[in-house]
Structure 1
Amino acid sequence: MARLTRAQQQEQTRAAVLAAAREEFAEHGYAEAKIDRIAERADLTRGAVYSNFTGKRALYLAVLLDTAERARAAAEPPPEPPATAGRALGAFARVWLERLPLAVDTPSSGHLQLRSLSGVVDTEPARAALAELVRFEALLLARALEPRTALRTGAVRRAELVLTLLQGAASLAENAPGAGDPFALVRAAEHLADVPLLTEDADPPHLPFVAPARPTRDAWTAPRELRDEITGRRADLDGDGVVVVLGVRRLSAAEEAMRSARAGEALTFVVVTGDPAETGRLARLRITDLIACLRRVFPPEEPPRLRVVFDDGGAVAAAVGGDPVDDLTEVAVRIRDGMVVARADGRGAGHAVAVRGAHEDGRRRGGTGPVTRGPDDHGDGA
C-alpha cells in the first residue's frame, strides 16, 4: 500500500477531527463540549486537534461551515426563476426553514442543525462582524431578487425583514422546538414582498464627502486559483470591472458600490479579515449558508455580474496594492483592458471607484456633469 503524503495525512487528520467534533457538539452542545473528548473520539492527541484548529470556537465554526458547504454542493438550481418577488421570498423561506429542529431532537443536536451561534459570537469584534454579515446577506438576497435592475433600497430592506423573520424563528426553535408554523412563516415571507416601507431611497449622508477615485495606469496581474462563492467556479478577475476588497466589519459598504455601479457591470467583492481561523470561518459560514439557499431558488445568472471571493491569503489585497488587511479594510480598483485605471481606499472606496465609471459613461455620451439617478433608477416608490 502506498504511503500517504504529508498533505494527505493532514487532510485525513482534519477530517477525523471534524467528524469527532460533530459528534461531541451534537451530544454535549458547544458550551459543554471538551477538546480532550474530541481528541479521544478521533483517536488523536490533544496536540493533533490544536495543530488543525486554534480552539473550540474555530472547531465549532468549521463543523457548521462543513455542513453549509455540503448543502451548497448538493443544491440543485431550478430551471426558471420564481414568477414574482413574493413567490421568490416564499421559496427562499421554505428552503431556509428546513433546518428547524423537530420536537424529538435533543437541544444540542437541534442547535447544531440550526447553525446556532448562541454563546459562540461573544466578543465585540465578532458581534460587529456578524452584524455586517447579516447586512451583506440581505444585499445578496436583494440582488438575487432583482438581478437586472439598479439595486433599490426598498429591496434591501425587504430582504432584511425576511432574514429577520427567519432568524427569529430559529431563535424560538432553539428554546421551544416545534413551536410556530413553518407554512405560516412562508406565507408571511411572501407578503413581505409587498409591504409598504417608510424609507427614503437616499444615499448615505457621508457619500458626498468621499474623495473621488484616483486615476491610474498601473498594470493589473489578476490573482489565480480564487473561487467565486456564488457560482462555485473559478473567479476570473482578468476582465473589465470593479474589484472591492472589504474587511468583514465593512461588508455593508457593498451596498454603496452596488448602487453606484453601472448596469451590467462585473462587480467582485473580496472578503478579508485579520483573523481567518475564527472571523474568517464565521464569514464563510454565513455567506456559504445563504448561497446554498439561493441556489435552490434562483437559476444562475450568466454571465455572473456579481461575485464574492474569500481572500485568506491576501493575494487580491496585494494585487490592488493595499496595506496589510484587517477587518476594517476597504480598497477598490477599476480594471479596464488589463490595467488598473482607478483606485480608492478608505471609507466609501467602493462607491468612489464604481461611480467613476458611471461619470465616464456620461461624458462619453456627451454629458457635462455627473450622472444622476432618477426615482425610477433605484427608488422604492413606497
Structure 2
Amino acid sequence: MSELPAPLSRQESQRQTRQALVAAARAAFAKEGYHAANLELIAREAGFSKGAVYSNFDGKAALFLAVMDANLEAALAEGAWNVSEQPEDPDTGRFGSEEVVEALKGFALATLEFIATAARDENLAVELGKRMQALTNAYEAVAEESRAQDEELSASEAGALLTALDQGAALLTLSGSAAIDQRLLRIGMQRLLAPSAGVVAARGGAGEPALHDQVMRNRIAAALNDQLPPPSDG
C-alpha cells in the first residue's frame, strides 16, 4: 500500500495559493483590464473565496504588482541575451504565439490603466518604479552583452535607452500604430548598441507587434504554457 503524501506545510500551501491567484489574475487583467477585473471572480477562478485574495494581498493593486513580478521573473530568469543574435523559436506547446500576443497586449493595456492610477498614488508610484528599474537593470545587462567595446555610452545609459525603446515601441503598438514591428525594434536595439557595426536583422518578426523584445516574449510564452492544465483525453 502506497504511503499518503505528506501534508503541505503552511508556507508551501500559501505559496501555491498565491501562485494560483496570480495566474488567475494575469488572465483576468489581460481580458478585462485593471479597473474592470473583479477580485471575487479572480478568486473563484483560482479555486478560492475572495477572502483568500485579502489573506495574501493588500488589494487589487498589490495583486497586479505581483502579476508584474511574475512576468518579469519569467522574462528575466535566464539572464541577458545578445540582440545581435537571432532568438530561438519558443517551445510554446499549446499556448500558440497568437494567444501569447493577445495575452501580452491585454496585460499591457491593463498596465497603462495601472500606470495612470499609480501616478496619482505616492506609494504605488514607488512600487511601480521598482519594477521599471528592474526592467532597466535587465536591459543594462543586455547592453553589457551586446554593445561594442568602444561604445561611448555606459551600460547603464544604454540600458535606460533600450528600456525607453522597448516601452515606446509597445506604446505605439497599443495605440494602433504599425510603424514599429518586432523586426524594426530589434534593428533599433542593434543600432543603439553598436552604431558603427553592420546590423544583423532578425529573420522573422516583420509585421509582428512590438510588445517587448522577442526573447522576453518567448520566455513569457514558455512560462504561460507551463501554467496550462494538461490536455483532456476526451
TM (normalized to structure 2)? Answer: 0.58
Check whether the contact 1:111–1:174 (CA below 8 A) recurs between aligned residues: no
Judged with a 3 Å threshold, the aligned counterparts in structure 2 of structure 1 residues 151 and 20 are, in CA distance, closer, same or farther, namely: same
Give the CA deviation at 1:10.
1.8
Q: In the alignment, is residue 66 of structure 1 matched against residue 70 of structure 2?
A: yes
Q: Deviations over 1:221-272 (max 9, x none)?
A: xxxxxxxxxxxxxxxxxxxxxxxxxxxxxxxxxxxxxxxxxxxxxxxxxxxx
* Identity between Structure 1 and Structure 2 (%): 29
Give the CA deviation at 1:169.
0.9
1:261-280 equivalence runs, <5 A: none
The residue number in structure 1 matching 2:26 is 22
TM (normalized to structure 1)? Answer: 0.38
The residue number in structure 1 matching 2:157 is 157
Judged with a 3 Å threshold, the aligned counterparts in structure 2 of structure 1 residues 28 and 145 are, in CA distance, closer, same or farther, namely: same
1:82-93 equivalence runs, <5 A: 88-91=82-85
Q: In the alignment, is residue 119 of structure 1 matched against residue 113 of structure 2?
A: yes
1:309-324 equivalence runs, <5 A: none
2:42 to 30, 38, 51: 38
Unaligned runs of at least 5 residues, structure 2: 89-96, 197-211, 220-234
Answer with 1 or 2: which has the greater Rg: 1
Letter in 1 for 2:105: G
Give the CA deviation at 1:34.
1.1
Letter in 1 for 2:8: L
The residue number in structure 2 matching 1:110 is 105
Q: Deviations over 1:154-212 (max 9, x none)?
A: 4443333332222111112223276533212222222223559xxxxxxxxxxxxxxxx
Q: How many residues align?
A: 182
1:249-328 equivalence runs, <5 A: none
Check whether the contact 1:64–1:115 (CA below 8 A) recurs between aligned residues: no
Judged with a 3 Å threshold, the aligned counterparts in structure 2 of structure 1 residues 91 and 18 are, in CA distance, closer, same or farther, namely: same
- Root-mean-square deviation (Å): 4.2
Letter in 2 for 1:68: L
Q: More helix per residue: 1 or 2?
A: 2
Q: More strand per residue: 1 or 2?
A: 1
Give the CA deviation at 1:105.
5.7
Q: Deviations over 1:270-295 (max 9, x none)?
A: xxxxxxxxxxxxxxxxxxx99x85xx
